[in-house]
Amino acid sequence: QVQLIESGGGLVQAGDSLRLSCAASGDTVSLYHMAWFRQYPGQEREFVAGINWNGGSTYYSDSVKGRFTISRDNAKNTVSLQMNSLAPEDTAVYFCAGKWRWRTDPLSEINEYSYWGQGTQVTVSS
């Protein structure tokens, strides 16, 4: 079973950038499609960005398209989320998630992700 640990969250001002990282251990990250989700208080987790097992395909929610970039380095067992032009609406807990690469569900389908990190808080002040 793979373990995922997020890092890189923090408090920033609107317009700033952050880079979140997800480190995998216990398994080879290339076996998994990976994604970032975020959760606002009292809300369901929502899809942010996804990347398939070899990095050949990415998908973004409309709210972050053009501002966020997901990437992976399978050799280092890491997945990253570069967040630019941050706005207060981006304030949330961000989670790294993974699913076995033989799953053919859309990358944005939250119910198919079996492995989750603990989350990292991102707060953007106006």
Per residue in 8-26, pLDDT tens? 999 999 999 999 999 999 9
Alpha carbon distance 57, 50 (integer Å): 8
- Token code pair at residue 68: 């966020």
Predicted local distance difference test score (pLDDT) of residue 1:
83
What count of Cα atoms within 13 Å lies in the side-chain half-sphere of residue 98? 29
Whether 5 shows a pLDDT value over 90: the answer reads yes
Q: What is the pLDDT of residues 54-88, one digit of tens each?
A: 999 999 999 999 999 999 999 999 999 999 999 99
∠ CA 46-112-107, nearest 5°, is: 65
Is the predicted pLDDT of residue 105 greater than 90, yes or no?
no
